[in-house]
Chain A
Amino acid sequence: MLESRSVTKKFGSKVAVEQLSLVLEPGHVYAMLGPNGSGKTTWMKMAAGLIKPTEGAVLFKGSPVGIESRKHIAYMSTEPYFYSWMTVKDVGRYYRDFFEDFSYDDYKGLIKRMELTEEMRIRTLSSGMMAKLKIAVTLARDSEVYMLDEPFNGIDLLARDEIRESILEHAAENKVLLLSSHLVEEMEAIADRAVFIKNGRKADECDVEDMRNAKGVSMADRYREIYGHEGVQA
């Protein structure tokens, strides 16, 4: 459904993503893993159509990502991006105005679960509240692909359970869920496939269950193998 064909992205002389090829199939929850600066966010932004690749292409159902794919790919950036003059209600209305697959009722349910209210002003939200709002508004879309960049960043332990549950409710046969994180243990409980990114390249891609059963290696173990001391934060 979502394919990355030899994608490279350079920022001046710095190579953020290099020759990254990847195919994401529906019915799976993918964990995109790697330390900070490994290229996960840059790749996701290219898949969301926000950044243009220097070489290669990201394809959605065989066509390069662009206006059409944005109707079907729900992307949540790791950075806060809402207009500061908005309220939580305005954010929902904005998504309703632009995305046909957005359900305001689902949004209301999700913000309630996240312990937010419609009257809250964006400029007064804490980083944790902002993270929850981003997840709520993204998951309120009935999209074919969900890409959540660092969804657990800034979220306390109890809220993480709620978010994990909300994310898993969106896993379905016809959907792709892609989550990026450097919190490997958190990903282990959600993802069935793992993609390891190192220095902008794909270091490994594996089925989590197979890896665990056949090799007796957990996602965190594999992470340590690939990144060594780089991955101590895992």
Chain B
Amino acid sequence: MKNLMKYELRKTLAIKLMILGATALAEIVFLIGLWADRNRMTGIGVGLLAMLAFGGVMIIGIASVVILHRDMNTKQSYMLFMTPNSSYRILGAKVLENGISILLAGAFYFALAALDITLLFAHEGRLADLWNWLRDLLQSFDARITMDTPTLLALNFNLLVTWIGTVCAAYLGDVISTALLNGKRYNGLVSFLAFIALMWLVSFVQGKATAGISGIRTVFLVDGGIALVFAVIMYVLTAQIMERKLSV
């Protein structure tokens, strides 16, 4: 498993380095703007950083799906599937590597945002407003969000497993297309519809399960728990199809 994860990381390294390089450039723009008192430049830097924080995490997930597709549909598939590893391990390494990457990317952008926001408010001389600004920002997403650590942890857990669940649904859609519908007409469309249907199902179950819950922290945890259960089910189903049906 360790070796499989090592090579999964290597396959996604280029895209991660590109995201990191773009983040470094955006950070430089932000810092120069702050240092030179050029508000427009600072604003551009903040905008770019915010875009990269959300986009970067999304791109890491999407890249993982693209790599799985390539690993099943090109001759490079032999590199993976001729090794003595089951589909569960091969897919598990992908899910784990992707999950850890998303977690680390999230933590990295969170730390960077904390640093930049502190610098910004310190520079503007209104450090005392920082806490209120953060509270207002979070409440703009949901009025029930409070600035306590357990709620923030629950929110992070929810975001992480929701995105991993989305990636697992995309894996399943792609494997259905490659292993079950290979060569058939509209297989791409069918797998995309399968992905949409899975995402709808997860969100439907989440909606039903959290309908009567008032506490936002509990909602985050229940929502995340359901996403996690679905992610596990989709992982097992995907690996099972690969193991039984996939020809590369």
- With both beta carbons as reference points, the residue of chain B lying nearest to A12 in the complex is identified as B183
Report yes or no: B83 in contact with A98, Cβ–Cβ below 8 A.
yes
Chain A neighbourhood of B78, CB < 8 A: 50, 75, 77, 81
Task: Report if B125 contacts A (CB, 8 A).
Answer: no
Report yes or no: B84 in contact with A70, Cβ–Cβ below 8 A.
yes
- In which size bucket is the chain A interface? 20 to 34
Report yes or no: A83 in contact with B79, Cβ–Cβ below 8 A.
yes
Closest chain A CB from B79 CB (angstroms): 6
Chain B neighbourhood of A12, CB < 8 A: 183
Of A52, A70, A80, A83, which one neighbours B83 at CB under 8 angstroms? A70
Which of A50, A51, A77 has the largest count of B CB atoms less than 10 A from its CB? A50
Report yes or no: B85 in contact with A50, Cβ–Cβ below 8 A.
no
Binary interface profile of B, 59-75, with partner A (CB < 8 Å = 1, else 0)? 00000000000000001
Task: Report if A68 contacts B (CB, 8 A).
Answer: yes
Interface residues of B in 4-51 (CB under 8 A from A): 6-7, 10-11, 14
**Inter-chain residue pair count (beta carbon < 8 A):** 56
Chain A neighbourhood of B11, CB < 8 A: 83, 85
Task: Report if B3 contacts A (CB, 8 A).
Answer: yes
CA distance A71 to B248 in the complex (A): 18
Size of interface on B: residues with Cβ below 8 Å to A: 23
- With both beta carbons as reference points, the residue of chain B lying nearest to A91 in the complex is identified as B79
Chain A neighbourhood of B10, CB < 8 A: 85
Report yes or no: B183 in contact with A11, Cβ–Cβ below 8 A.
yes
- Say whether, besides A12-B183, A49-B82, A75-B82, A80 and B247 are in contact (CB < 8 Å): no
- Say whether, besides A81-B76, A83-B76, A52 and B245 are in contact (CB < 8 Å): yes
Chain A neighbourhood of B190, CB < 8 A: none
Task: Report if B218 contacts A (CB, 8 A).
Answer: no
Report yes or no: A94 in contact with B247, Cβ–Cβ below 8 A.
no
- Say whether, besides A80-B75, A83-B76, A51 and B247 are in contact (CB < 8 Å): yes
Closest chain B CB from A85 CB (angstroms): 7
Chain B neighbourhood of A75, CB < 8 A: 78, 82
Chain B neighbourhood of A23, CB < 8 A: none
Of B7, B244, B245, B247, which one neighbours A50 at CB under 8 angstroms? B247
- With both beta carbons as reference points, the residue of chain A lying nearest to B247 in the complex is identified as A51
- Say whether, besides A12-B183, A98-B3, A48 and B75 are in contact (CB < 8 Å): no
- Say whether, besides A77-B75, A81-B79, A94 and B7 are in contact (CB < 8 Å): yes
Of A52, A67, A70, A97, which one neighbours B247 at CB under 8 angstroms? A52
Chain B neighbourhood of A81, CB < 8 A: 75-79
Task: Report if A104 contacts B (CB, 8 A).
Answer: no
Task: Report if B139 contacts A (CB, 8 A).
Answer: no
Report yes or no: A67 in contact with B183, Cβ–Cβ below 8 A.
no
- Say whether, besides A51-B247, A83-B11, A94-B7, A68 and B84 are in contact (CB < 8 Å): yes
Chain B neighbourhood of A11, CB < 8 A: 183
Report yes or no: B79 in contact with A50, Cβ–Cβ below 8 A.
no
Task: Report if B86 contacts A (CB, 8 A).
Answer: yes
Binary interface profile of A, 19-57, with partner B (CB < 8 Å = 1, else 0)? 000000000000000000000000001001111100000
- With both beta carbons as reference points, the residue of chain A lying nearest to B248 in the complex is identified as A50
CA distance A11 to B247 in the complex (A): 11
Binary interface profile of B, 169-212, with partner A (CB < 8 Å = 1, else 0)? 00000000000000100000000000000000000000000000
Closest chain B CB from A123 CB (angstroms): 12
- With both beta carbons as reference points, the residue of chain A lying nearest to B3 in the complex is identified as A97
- With both beta carbons as reference points, the residue of chain A lying nearest to B86 in the complex is identified as A67
Chain A neighbourhood of B83, CB < 8 A: 70, 98-99
Closest chain B CB from A195 CB (angstroms): 22
Chain A neighbourhood of B76, CB < 8 A: 81-83
Other A-B contacts than A50-B81, A51-B247, 19 sampled, CB-CB below 8 A, are: A49-B81, A49-B82, A50-B77, A50-B248, A52-B244, A52-B245, A52-B246, A52-B247, A67-B84, A70-B83, A71-B84, A81-B77, A81-B79, A82-B79, A83-B11, A85-B11, A94-B79, A98-B84, A99-B83
Task: Sample 12 A-B pairs with CB under 8 A, ordered by A number.
Answer: A11-B183, A49-B82, A52-B244, A70-B82, A75-B78, A75-B82, A81-B76, A81-B77, A81-B78, A94-B7, A94-B79, A98-B85
| Closest A-B pairs by Cβ, 5 of them | A51-B247, A81-B78, A98-B83, A70-B84, A97-B3
